[in-house]
């Protein structure tokens, strides 16, 4: 094996969906954008569909096409970027459901695909995507007369349960949608955890399906093992890697593993990150390179063919903290160069 191995536990993913579904007081969909958060979207959606998900959310029409091919005509596939110029044929041919976020998109959809399914996306304060209250008020009756499949908004601070923005957005969403017959959706993973007031008719868990925060009880879904290319002995005073940033303080054994920042292992995490040789922590030495990482295995009594980066000893969230980022970025940075193995 010349590339890192990324193992995806589909059973754990299914268990996470089922647990979040039990917490929801309504139907539960699944957000599978960005290649299923780096896990491989086709295998992910097949397992989630098997487990009970019938609504999938992606960022772009091209992602929706992948899902339609993977799971067939039954599920509803929602496009968060709406009906973009050039997407009409794909949306119409594959029965995708754009979440329209502007008057321009609404007119494009109604004119190009009259009678085709759609949803509406409203801005309740995040100022990212969706119609603002005045804009929505101007077209509300026209939009509702066409029968949207879903009316949704997105919480900006759901990962922080006590943040006042949550209640503010909830009130805004109710003000914009109370009394409509169309199904409503406000909560992703964090919103599900905020409680039933945020659930409405459809919840849309994303990161929680893949083992990330804020769902602290999520089962781990991925593990990453990096194969050793070479082991060398160096003497105290020798340096390792670009820039001579790491100098051996003792005679040491250095293993070079096949992975690097081209595989989503961010350079910034190097000084704080360790791998594992069995039960032994083995720290990264020097800078993470594009295709290789050097690791101090001096204290390991048994050195396996591959070292664990993510798994029993270390989570995606640990790597995120080491890189001063979030689990979303780590997961979605995982490059296709990994050899993917699916279990469960």
Smallest Cα–Cα separation from 268: which of 251, 284, 252?
284
Instruction: Give the helix ranges, DSSP H, for the chain.
Output: 10-23, 33-37, 41-51, 61-71, 88-94, 103-112, 133-145, 164-177, 189-194, 316-322, 327-332
Tell me the per-residue pLDDT of 64-112, one tens digit each, with 9 for 90 and over. Answer: 999 999 999 999 999 999 999 999 999 999 999 999 999 999 999 999 9
Active site members: 33, 242
**CATH for the stretch 10-210:** 3.20.20.10
Tell me the sheet residues that pair with 257.
228, 293
Domain segments of the chain: what residues? 10-210, 222-343
Q: Both ends of the chain: CA-CA distance in Å?
A: 22
Annotate 210-247 with b (16+ C-beta within 10 A) or e (fewer): bbbbbbeebbbbbbbbbbbeeeeebeeeeebbeeeebe
Residue 333: CB atoms within 10 A of its CB come to 17
pLDDT tens for the chain, residues 1 to 344: 578 999 999 999 999 999 999 999 999 999 999 999 999 999 999 999 999 999 999 999 999 999 999 999 999 999 999 999 999 999 999 999 999 999 999 999 999 999 999 999 999 999 999 999 999 999 999 999 999 999 999 999 999 999 999 999 999 999 999 999 999 999 999 999 999 999 999 999 999 999 998 999 999 999 999 999 999 999 999 999 999 999 999 999 999 999 999 999 999 999 999 999 999 999 999 999 999 999 999 999 999 999 999 999 999 999 999 999 999 999 989 877 899 999 98
| Pairing status of strand 306-310 against strand 339-343 | unpaired
CATH class of this structure's domain 222-343: mainly beta
């Amino acid at each position: 094996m010349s590339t890192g191995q990324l193992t995806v536990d589909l059973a754990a993913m299914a268990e996470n969906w089922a647990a979040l579904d039990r917490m929801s007081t309504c139907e539960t969909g699944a957000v599978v954008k960005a290649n299923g958060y780096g896990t491989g979207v086709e295998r992910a959606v097949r397992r989630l569909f098997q487990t009970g998900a019938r609504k999938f959310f992606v960022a772009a029409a091209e992602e929706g096409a992948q899902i339609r091919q993977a799971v067939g005509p039954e599920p509803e596939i929602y496009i968060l970027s709406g009906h973009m110029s050039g997407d009409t044929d794909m949306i119409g041919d594959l029965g995708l459901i754009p979440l329209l976020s502007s008057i321009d998109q609404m007119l494009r959809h109604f004119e190009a695909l009259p009678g085709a399914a759609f949803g509406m996306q409203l801005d309740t304060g995040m100022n990212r995507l969706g119609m603002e209250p005045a804009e929505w008020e101007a077209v509300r009756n026209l939009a509702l007369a066409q029968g949207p499949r879903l009316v949704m908004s997105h919480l900006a601070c759901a990962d922080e349960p006590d943040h006042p923005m949550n209640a503010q957005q909830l009130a805004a969403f109710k003000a914009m949608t109370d009394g409509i017959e169309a199904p409503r959706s406000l909560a992703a993973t964090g919103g599900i955890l905020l409680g039933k007031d945020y659930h409405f008719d459809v919840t849309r868990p994303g990161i929680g399906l893949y083992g990330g925060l804020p769902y602290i009880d999520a089962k781990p879904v991925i593990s990453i093992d990096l194969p050793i290319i070479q082991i060398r002995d160096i003497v105290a005073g020798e340096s390792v890697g670009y820039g001579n940033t790491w100098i051996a303080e003792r005679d040491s054994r250095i293993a070079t593993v096949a992975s690097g920042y081209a595989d989503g292992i961010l350079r910034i995490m190097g000084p704080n990150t360790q791998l594992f040789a069995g039960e032994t922590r083995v720290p990264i030495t020097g800078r993470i390179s594009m295709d290789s990482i050097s690791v101090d295995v001096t204290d390991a009594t048994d050195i396996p063919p591959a070292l664990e980066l993510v798994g029993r000893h270390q989570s995606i969230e640990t790597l995120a903290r080491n890189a001063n980022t979030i689990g979303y970025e780590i997961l979605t940075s995982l490059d296709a160069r990994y050899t993917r193995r699916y279990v469960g």
